[in-house]
Amino acid sequence: MTDLTALSYTAEHEWIAFDGDVATVGITDYAAEKLGDVVFVELPAVGATVTAGETCGEIESTKSVGDLYAPLTGEVVEINDAVVDDPSSVNAGAFDAWLVRIKTDGTPAADLLDRNAYVALTGGEA
């Protein structure tokens, strides 16, 4: 299980774990619960450049289709093929089913939240 207090979060319900200049990104349990049963995940290609705040993928559930937003600017260095192959793994454990790894360009990420601020944003859920 991931140490949830060590993560950063976005208002778009993504979590980010930093390891130097590489950020691992996924969606939160709150987002997975609101989506319902996830049936399809589209992620950017390895080598693609993503820009903070812009759409970089899609996640589809039995209820709706939602955009995935890049929380940081940089290059996609890895995607989680296991999630693409089995999207339901997001529902089984959103904090374990990371989506992409982004090598950041060094630009500070704006609007990232700590755990307490994210829990306050969601009304007590993460």
What is the three-class DSSP state of 119?
helix
- Which residues lie closer than 8 Å to 29 by C-beta, 6 or more apart? 94, 95, 125, 126
Domain ranges of the chain: 4-107
Contact 22, 30 (CB under 8 A): no
Q: Which amino acid is at 115?
A: R
pTM here is 0.91
Q: Which fold has domain 4-107?
A: OB fold (Dihydrolipoamide Acetyltransferase, E2P) (2.40.50)
For residues 18 and 122, give the distance between their C-alpha atoms in angstroms, rounded to a whole number.
22
Count CB-CB contacts under 10 A for residue 85: 9
pLDDT tens digit string along 66-120?
899 999 999 999 999 999 999 999 999 998 999 999 999 877 676 899 999 999 9
